[in-house]
Chains A and B, each alone.
Chain A
Amino acid sequence: MITTVRANVLRFILLVLLQALVIDHIDLAHGWIVPYIYVLFILLLPFDTPDWATLLLGFLVGMAMDMFTSTPGMHASACVVMAFARILMLRALVPREGYDPEKRPIIQHMGLAWFTTYAGVLILVHHLWLFFVEVYRFDDLFSTFLRALMSAIATFILCLLAQALLSRDIRTR
């Protein structure tokens, strides 16, 4: 329990700093691709996280991001939407025997297909909300949609890379 909390606190800090200090300063394709890797924090919360905690932690990680990017409420709202979507997604994707408390929402435990559905949908929800709130207008719907979609794909690839690099399960076995 304590290890889980500590791991998640660490992940919170590292992902927010990684996002604010490194990823935000990389300009891919002139602003067409802006990955937001920090959402991995919400994706990797344990299965048995209570719903209220998911919502609250989502709000907090969004607020932390907003402090760095000086956009009050933008990341926070996107993360709350994403946290809510995660609660619904976990309910929709529950295996027949329920979630194994030993397992975590990562590829090594749940498989690539499960993770792709889970992370893909949630990242897309987050990015669509964020990009539409960011432009604050609906006059070029299609280009905003395309930006969100391309950035979501980039974020997803980064999430896969992060898991491949950081997973202890691979290294020990």
Chain B
Amino acid sequence: MRDLFRFLFRQRNNLLFLALMGISMSLLIGGNMHQRAQAISSSNSVIGQIYTWRHDLTEFTDLRAVNQQLAQELAEERTRNHASTNDTGKVTLHVDSAREEAYKFITAQVINSTAHKERNYLTLDRGTLDGIHQDLGVVGMNGIVGVVRDASPHFALVTSILGNEIEYSVELSRTKHYGLLKWDTGDPATASMVDVAKYVQVHVGDPVVTRGGDHVFPAGFPVGTVIAVHDDPGSNFHSITLKLAEDLTRSGYVHIVFDLLGSERDSLQARSVQP
């Protein structure tokens, strides 16, 4: 027995090393999916507060860009409104109430973000008190941004599309063929679309939009445009490079998407699966 203790004492540093390694590896492997990860992420309130201070300090440096974005979005929104009243003539536009209420958007400010790492995250200044929860979609002014990974009362952590954790279902809006959005280019301005069969004719400049129906993003929301199509003779699929619609290297405002009809769609799908 005493030999055992002596052995343990002599090996205490190696044992400590193994223990600490064990803790960090278990966090690394299980932590991303687990709730306890919240304590070790920037949706933690202390870290969120520190990032808010930083944001308060640096916010004014991109006010000009944010203003421009907002003005442009307003102009686009006006055009869209104008077009829709023109379409229906003078008659009041009758929108199906179910359709109108399908999605709700909440504005949030990005208080911290990275775009140049292998996996990138954004911290937003909205949390569970605003109804934010896991797996909500986040969109920017021009295109999709990511998915909420975690939320605390005042902050939310978003997995950016610039990462290898999530693949998004997207489609070519011209041909309606769908594929997966993958970020394997390492460049914050571009991404790849995979699993599009070779017989599909893809042209440079084709817009790519979200496919919808996944609870996260509304269908037809902009993702990017095709800038290059490479065809590897050994594969049955195109490898398509997209220019992302949203500039993720810039912070500013984003919208969190609530899919109000998601649970209804879910229960329908669940019912039809059962015999």
Contacts and interface: CB of A to CB of B under 8 A. Distances in A.
Contacts of A72: 27-28, 31-32, 37, 40-41
14 contacts: A30-B116, A30-B187, A30-B188, A31-B188, A55-B16, A55-B20, A58-B20, A70-B42, A70-B150, A73-B23, A73-B28, A73-B29, A81-B21, A134-B117
B28 A69 contact: no
Interface string B15-56: 011001101111111011000010111111011001100100
Contacts of A25: 114
A8 interface: no
A80 B23 CA distance: 10
Interface string A48-59: 000110011011
A31 B20 contact: no
B114 A87 contact: no
B118 A134 contact: yes
A63 interface: yes
A70 B28 contact: no
A27 B187 CA distance: 11
B115 A68 contact: no
A84 interface: yes
| Main SS class of interface, A | helix
Nearest to B187: A30
A47 to B, nearest CB: 16
B217 interface: no
Interface of B: 12-13, 16-17, 20-21, 23-29, 31-32, 37, 39-44, 46-47, 50-51, 54, 114-119, 121, 123, 149-150, 157, 164, 186-188, 249
A137 B44 CA distance: 28
Contacts of A17: 50
Nearest to B47: A67
A56 B20 contact: yes
Given A55-B20, A84-B17, A136 B27 contact: no
A120 to B, nearest CB: 22
A131 B20 CA distance: 19
Sorted nearest first, the 7 A-B pairs with minimum C-beta distance are A73-B28, A73-B27, A72-B31, A31-B116, A77-B24, A70-B41, A76-B24
